[in-house]
A and B are shown apart, each in its own frame.
Chain A
Amino acid sequence: MIAKGDLTGINVSRKASGLKPTGEPIRVLIVDDSMFVTKQITQILSSEGFVIAATAADGKEGLDKYKELYPDIDLVTMDITMPNMDGVTALEKIMEFDKNAKVIMVSALGKQDLVKKSLLLGAKNYIVKPLDRVKVLERISSVLK
């Protein structure tokens, strides 16, 4: 029988493995007001062994869930344009709460200024929609290094 780790090593050398060196799954919080995007990210990450610890439909809910689940969130994917509280504000508040938080922004094209602002505020990287599976896993891999 081939262990999951062996398969991962063969097939996805440049992609993110959803497991920590200890073998535990990496726990992700997805913050996005689009059910479609949440589902896409869930499918991509779940197939690599990540665990979706929680999802949130706006920045305020994302911030609340991050605080509630802290320190059991290893990675946050954060949409930029959302109702109630946008992703840049939520990022800023998460970084105030936990300066080591690993947040990756998810943006449509046309939001370069907000992406740059997010990176200055502490976001570790960004993903541009439409989501490409390989690119998503590469960006996440760079954040988890």
Chain B
Amino acid sequence: MRVEYINPFVEAAFNTIKTVLGVDIVRGKLYLKDTSQPVLGVAVLVGLAGDVEGRVIFDMEKTTALKIASDMNGETLTEMDELVKATIMELANMITGTAVTRLQDLGFSFDLTPPVLFSGEKMELANTGVEALIVPVDLPQGRLEINVAIRERI
């Protein structure tokens, strides 16, 4: 997978989180996954289809999701209710929208699917034919993993 697909998502995550949460984040070491991988507990998936195709998953533990949603809403949220889910999906939407604008500026043309949120324990994710690059980012609220699998449409 070409690194130019990844950087817009990382930059968008940094900028969006800084704007929305008012915190700086620390980027962890990138790693590749081409086999099944565990999901931390709450995952939002946004699909891409066009000149390039694939998906981006924003993956975090439930406690991290609750803390992020609490901070974004300015109130303490303790259950994975509709507001928490809507908040986390909106964060994924904002990051992806910003990244897509940058990719479109680079000449790629594609559409996004609406975000889908999965939550549960002991979930696994499997890819078919696309290696996933994972960018861990550490926030005061916990770790967020940006899991990107994109390829050029054949």
Interface positions of A (Cβ within 8 A of B): 34-37, 39, 81, 83, 108-112, 129-130, 132
Contacts and interface: CB of A to CB of B under 8 A. Distances in A.
B16 A130 contact: yes
Closest 9 A-B residue pairs measured CB to CB? Answer: A108-B97, A110-B100, A35-B86, A110-B97, A36-B87, A109-B97, A36-B86, A109-B101, A36-B90
A83 B90 CA distance: 15
Contact of A34 (B19, B20, B86): B86
Interface of B: 16, 19-20, 69, 72-73, 82-83, 86-87, 89-90, 93-94, 96-101, 104, 112, 114
B104 to A, nearest CB: 7
Contacts of B89: 34, 36
Contact of B94 (A35, A83, A112, A129): A129
Given A83-B114, A108-B97, A129-B97, 15 more contacts: A34-B86, A35-B82, A35-B83, A36-B72, A36-B87, A36-B89, A36-B90, A39-B73, A108-B94, A110-B96, A110-B97, A110-B98, A111-B97, A129-B90, A130-B16
29 contacts: A34-B86, A34-B89, A34-B90, A35-B82, A35-B83, A35-B86, A35-B87, A36-B69, A36-B72, A36-B83, A36-B86, A36-B89, A37-B86, A37-B90, A39-B83, A83-B114, A108-B97, A109-B98, A110-B96, A110-B97, A110-B98, A110-B100, A110-B101, A129-B90, A129-B93, A129-B97, A130-B16, A130-B19, A130-B20
